[in-house]
Chains A and B, each alone.
Chain A
Amino acid sequence: MAKEKKESVIESSLKRKYKLQAKDVNVFYDDFQAIKEISMDIKPNSVTAFIGPSGCGKSTFLRLFNRMNDYVDGFRMEGKIFIDDQNINKKKVNVELLRKQVGMVFQKPNPFPKSIFENVAYGLKIQGLKDKTFLRERVESSLKQVALWDEVKDNLNKSALALSGGQQQRLCIARTLAVEPSVILMDEPTSALDPLSTAKIEELIHELKDKYTIVIVTHNMQQAGRISDYTAFFYLGEIIEFDKTNKIFTNPEKKQTENYITGRFG
């Protein structure tokens, strides 16, 4: 009996080729269909970029993985979303727990009007973690990961709103990392930032890849080329092509993809 159990544990960890999966997903907002029959498999410890024109469903699809669409009126979904082989839409799934596993960084930096320390510690405090030493350590390590620690370590009690835009965004990333998710979803994280801050955050994403699975929606194709391993091209709610970034940018299969990448989009 014990031998059988051992085998299935090994089997299941081998089977877990994919961190995130979507199977035959359709999304509706009342009568409007935002996502049409999308299936996708995302490998762990990779960076996947979603590119495509505005309004083609990239953000909607991204938000399926942490169920942030649940708050939108009229939202309805068909199909299945799996994280670590678990269907996240089953009734027994605790959404709050899910979101501790799957973090999200938004387009416009949105730190809370609290101190820098309080911002990073927020995700831990809502879990009931109160031990001061633990919080301090976790805040320090998160801020170090985003290369903010040296800049703010003497001012942890200063308001987060006093930081520059790029620093605020890095703070928001630190806030997400503090909860130790395994997946990080990013919805155009650098589109509101200046080029220097953008470069810093791209470097950060490159470093985070070793420990996290990252999915990033971006309007900037060059950014997708620079930082992602895989790229999915969305158009009008469908995925036209999903492949290694290198392939998409040197020799895409579909003409539509090529037209978009080369800027010839009608």
Chain B
Amino acid sequence: MTNLDQYRESLKQSGLEMFELCEKQMLKSKEAFLTHDSDLAEEVIHTENRVNALDLKIDRDCERFIALHTPVAGDLRFVLALRKINFDLERVGDHAFGVAKYIIEINTPIDLKLLENLRFEEMYDSALSMLDDIKEAYIHDDTKKARKVYKKDKVLNKININAFKVISEEVKKDPNLIDQYLLLFSIIKKIERIGDLITNIAEEIIFYREAEILKHQKKKKVRKPKE
């Protein structure tokens, strides 16, 4: 393996590390929330430092790669995509961190029926599966897998839109629950944002592999990958 390939491989590994770190953060936040486990939440908060440190490291390493190896073509698209993926993953981690913070701030556990009404767990699971899909797409440079996440994102959007309706109805029935509902609403927004971030990552992977920019375009177009 040449020096250039070694460096690129190590960048890819760092990206994978970031994926796994943020995935874990999301999993832990979900569990901590559903079981109201404040210790687990503390763990997530503590790990946020590692996420930030890794984000900085990847940024620096990308800069170094560009300065020292003057990459072109596939190598260049890879490092440009990685920078954006890294940025998006850091935001995902940030949202997971936000959820964990809520758990610490709110003392009482959430009513399980509320969660069911809002299809909370389903939404969270969808987001987690999207993250897993996109991680696999990243590892194998698989644009087909990357495109899968668009469909799942629609589920997230649907639940998000629905949540507003459900909450406004339920609050009229029992105004005391408004605090909990507002909290749940914020978290649902966060998960919806996570879904958007993951579709961004999908665009980056597709750009890197196919040199095609899907940003700001209709996502329905299906192109044959370059190989």
Binding site for B on A (CB under 8 A): 199, 202-203, 206, 222, 225-227, 245-246, 249-250
| Residues of A close to B107: CB separation below 8 A | none
In the assembled complex, the Cα of A246 lies from the Cα of B68 at a distance in Å of 7
With contacts A199-B2, A226-B3, A227-B3 taken as known, whether A246 is within 8 angstroms of B67 at the C-beta atoms is yes
The answer to whether the Cβ of B151 comes within 8 Å of any Cβ in the partner chain is: no
Interface centre among B2, B64, B67 (most CB of A within 10 A): B67
16 contacts between A and B (CB under 8 A): A199-B2, A202-B3, A203-B3, A206-B3, A225-B67, A225-B69, A225-B70, A226-B3, A226-B4, A226-B68, A245-B68, A246-B64, A246-B68, A249-B68, A250-B63, A250-B64
Pick from B63, B64, B70: contact of A222, CB below 8 A. Answer: B70
In the assembled complex, the Cα of A196 lies from the Cα of B74 at a distance in Å of 19
In the assembled complex, the Cα of A202 lies from the Cα of B70 at a distance in Å of 15
Q: How many residues does chain B have at the interface if contact means C-beta atoms less than 8 Å apart?
A: 9
CB-nearest residue of chain A to B66: A250
Q: Report A250 CB to chain B, min CB distance, Å.
A: 5
Q: Report B2 CB to chain A, min CB distance, Å.
A: 6
Q: Report B57 CB to chain A, min CB distance, Å.
A: 14
Q: Report A160 CB to chain B, min CB distance, Å.
A: 27
In the assembled complex, the Cα of A225 lies from the Cα of B70 at a distance in Å of 8
Which residues between 54 and 101 of chain B lie within 8 Å of chain A, taking CB atoms? 63-64, 67-70
Which residues between 149 and 191 of chain B lie within 8 Å of chain A, taking CB atoms? none
| Residues of A close to B70: CB separation below 8 A | 222, 225
| Residues of A close to B64: CB separation below 8 A | 246, 250
Q: Is the CB of A250 within 8 A of B67?
A: yes
In the assembled complex, the Cα of A203 lies from the Cα of B5 at a distance in Å of 11
CB-nearest residue of chain A to B1: A203
Q: Report A89 CB to chain B, min CB distance, Å.
A: 35
| Residues of A close to B69: CB separation below 8 A | 225-226
Q: Is the CB of B68 within 8 A of A203?
A: no
Q: Report A51 CB to chain B, min CB distance, Å.
A: 13
| Residues of B close to A225: CB separation below 8 A | 67-70
Q: List 7 extra interface pairs beyond A199-B2, A250-B64, A250-B67, CB under 8 A.
A: A202-B3, A206-B3, A222-B70, A225-B67, A226-B68, A245-B68, A246-B68
In the assembled complex, the Cα of A199 lies from the Cα of B3 at a distance in Å of 10
